[in-house]
A = this chain, B = another copy of it.
Amino acid sequence: MDHVPDQTINRLPIYLRCLSQARAVGIAVVNSLQLAQMAGTNAAQVRKDLSYLGELGTRGVGYDVEGLIAHVSDVLGLTEKRRVAIVGYGRLGGALHGYRGLADRGFDIVAVFDDDPEKVGRPAGGLTVAPVSALERDLRDLDVEIAILTTPTSAAQEVAERIAAAGVHAIMNFTNVRLELPEGVKVRPVDLSVELQVLSFYLARSS
């Protein structure tokens, strides 16, 4: 397990979801082909991916669902809850805050920030909207590990730098800005217009 390829890591959450579904319907053991079909890949890929994590299966039998869930969760660092902040509490930020899929998977939204004086101090799903001026202090005090960045374009780089400076090493970036941050800060860009443009390419291609 010294080095796990990036693409394998991207698939681990998918496997985890499939395994949870299997468990929910009472399946105790799955083989690589079944898991592959659920995940939308092939059996060889599943075995290779899981082999990076160790020898998790039983030859002639398959993978124990419960055990594999525990192991993959552990590798993904999901055994403890993760503390998440949303920075930029507009419509998108608010929608993400309300999204059950995050809380259900152990991601606790522990703070939300906005710059707009109209919003600061308002209640927000059990929390209170905090001012961006309190970013550094609050992120440290609450021990936030992941920030979801949904500010306007103009503020993105500056706010991201402050998030990183506050000791947060992971940022999910919903802005259309390419963030320049110090080594050791992992950014995942989620650019909706990029996704749509890629879809547009395939439309243009096929028609």
> Which residues of A pack against B, CB within 8 Å?
9-10, 12-14, 16-17, 38-40, 75-78, 82, 84, 90-92, 94-96, 98-99, 101-102, 104-105, 107, 145-146, 169-172, 176, 178, 184, 186, 188, 190-207
B192 A84 Cβ-Cβ under 8 A: no
A197-B12 contact given A146-B203, A178-B40, A204-B75, CB 8 Å threshold? yes
What are some 15 contacts across the A-B interface (CB < 8 A)? A9-B201, A12-B201, A13-B197, A76-B201, A77-B201, A91-B99, A101-B193, A102-B196, A145-B203, A146-B200, A169-B206, A171-B199, A172-B199, A184-B206, A190-B195
A82-B200 contact given A101-B192, A193-B102, CB 8 Å threshold? yes
Smallest CB-CB separation from A39: which chain B residue? Answer: B178
Minimum C-beta distance from A198 to chain B (A): 6
Minimum C-beta distance from A27 to chain B (A): 17
Smallest CB-CB separation from A104: which chain B residue? Answer: B193
Q: Which listed residue (B10, B84, B91) contacts A196, Cβ 8 A? A: B84
Query: Inside 8 A of A99's CB, which chain B residues have their CB?
Result: 91-92, 192
User: How many subunits of this chain does the assembly comprise?
Assistant: 2
A172 B195 Cβ-Cβ under 8 A: yes
Query: Inside 8 A of A195's CB, which chain B residues have their CB?
Result: 172, 188, 190
Query: Inside 8 A of A102's CB, which chain B residues have their CB?
Result: 192-193, 196
Query: Inside 8 A of A204's CB, which chain B residues have their CB?
Result: 75-77
Minimum C-beta distance from A156 to chain B (A): 12
B14 A200 Cβ-Cβ under 8 A: no
Query: Inside 8 A of A82's CB, which chain B residues have their CB?
Result: 196, 200, 203
Q: Which 10 A-B pairs have the closest CB atoms?
A: A77-B204, A91-B95, A13-B197, A170-B199, A95-B95, A13-B194, A186-B202, A92-B95, A77-B200, A101-B193
